[in-house]
Amino acid sequence: MKTLMTIAEVRENVKEWKKQGLTVGLVPTMGYLHKGHKSLIEKAHEENDKVVVSIFVNPIQFGVNEDLDAYPRDLENDSKLCEGAGVDIIFHPQATEMYFEDFCTYTDMEKLTHNLCGMSRPTHFRGVCTVVNKLFNIVAPDKAYFGQKDAQQLAVIKRMVRDLNIDTEIIGCPIVREDDGLAVSSRNTYLSAEERKVSVVLSKALQEGRKMLENGEKNAAVVVNAIKAIIEKEPLAKIDYVKIVDSEILEDVETVEKNVLVAMAVYVGKTRLIDNITFEI
């Protein structure tokens, strides 16, 4: 496994692989890797000859008051996880390698990005689309792997690839959870012991929502309110949003009559956690 910090070196290696007719899978990450990331890497390893993992805390997807500087980093541990999972290249650029000082070209999406996390993070998806588009231009992967954990991101990336004719297949991977149901996240490291216990309320509330949908409840507001009521019982939890949206276009639905995403963002203490389930009809 190689760890490369420059775009030129990555391109050189990929060019050599492509000359040999080998396929390339890309797993974009911000590092501080855990078993959720590992599941993506393993799928990429199964489906491609070569695997590139990018580790880059992308400054332009963080808002001004967000956790860019505090975001956890541990390249040594990340390298071990990648080595063990059969990664060929870690691409770990500095921000200056990715963004010229006078960088001014962005990939912006007019739909799908304003609801859900886009409501409280208005520039987030512009940053995500821009960096992922750049990574696709650098690595030219046959397939790229994204977690359903960030369901809005997955839908947005699929739309970007469709709209811009990017020759990369997007593979969505299921959410990996802790034993008690909490979705694994690099940000879980911010939680105190007490907050960690409280955090299970996200997945518990979603499971209750799923039960209601399975039992035939079609009124989205009824399900959303039941989910909110469960979360509101926890004094340490503060809801950013709970919504039921169309799985593809991510717009709110009043009546559940096609596939939907039940998604939420909840602050536990100062940590903003997200989780979701899909309900298929």
Catalytic residue set: 37
User: Is the Cβ of residue 171 or residue 253 nearer to ligand AMP in the bound state?
Assistant: 171
Among 14, 24, 30, 139, binds ligand AMP (CB under 6 A): 30
Among 126, 143, 149, 272, binds ligand AMP (CB under 6 A): 149
CA dist 14 and 231 (Å) reads: 47
Considering only residues 153 through 212, tell me which ones interact with ligand AMP, judged by CB under 6 A: 173, 175-176, 183-186
User: Is the Cβ of residue 138 or residue 224 nearer to ligand AMP in the bound state?
Assistant: 138
With CB under 6 A as the contact rule, which of the stretches 31-39, 70-78, 112-120, 233-241 interacts with ligand AMP?
31-39
Bridge pairing between strands 169-173 and 143-147: parallel
**Interface mask (CB under 6 A) for ligand AMP, residues 64-103, using x and -?**
----------------------------------------
Cα–Cα separations (whole angstroms), residue 203 to 20, 38, 82, 210, 268: 45, 21, 28, 10, 13
Please say whether the beta carbons of 66 and 30 come within 8 A.
no
Helical residues (DSSP H) of 20-123, grouped into ranges: 35-47, 75-84, 95-98, 117-120
Q: What is the largest CA-CA distance in the chain?
A: 59
User: Is the Cβ of residue 186 or residue 212 nearer to ligand AMP in the bound state?
Assistant: 186
Residue 261 binds ligand AMP (CB under 6 A): no
**Interface mask (CB under 6 A) for ligand AMP, residues 100-139, using x and -?**
----------------------------------------
Least CB distance to ligand AMP at residue 187 (A): 8
- Size of interface with ligand AMP, in residues (CB under 6 A): 17
Q: What is the distance, to the nearest Å, from the Cα of residue 160 to the centroid of all Cα atoms in its chain?
A: 15
One-letter amino acid for residue 216 of the chain: G
User: Is the Cβ of residue 89 or residue 224 nearer to ligand AMP in the bound state?
Assistant: 89
Residue nearest to ligand AMP (CB): 147
Residue 36 binds ligand AMP (CB under 6 A): yes
Please say whether the beta carbons of 244 and 220 come within 8 A.
yes
CA dist 18 and 74 (Å) reads: 31
- CB count in 10 Å sphere of residue 258: 12
Among 29, 54, 133, 199, binds ligand AMP (CB under 6 A): 29
CA dist 129 and 127 (Å) reads: 6
Among 150, 195, 234, 275, binds ligand AMP (CB under 6 A): 150
- Our CA angle for 1, 127, 146, nearest 5°, is 50
Which residues of the chain form contacts with ligand AMP (CB under 6 A)?
29-30, 36-37, 39-40, 146-147, 149-150, 173, 175-176, 183-186
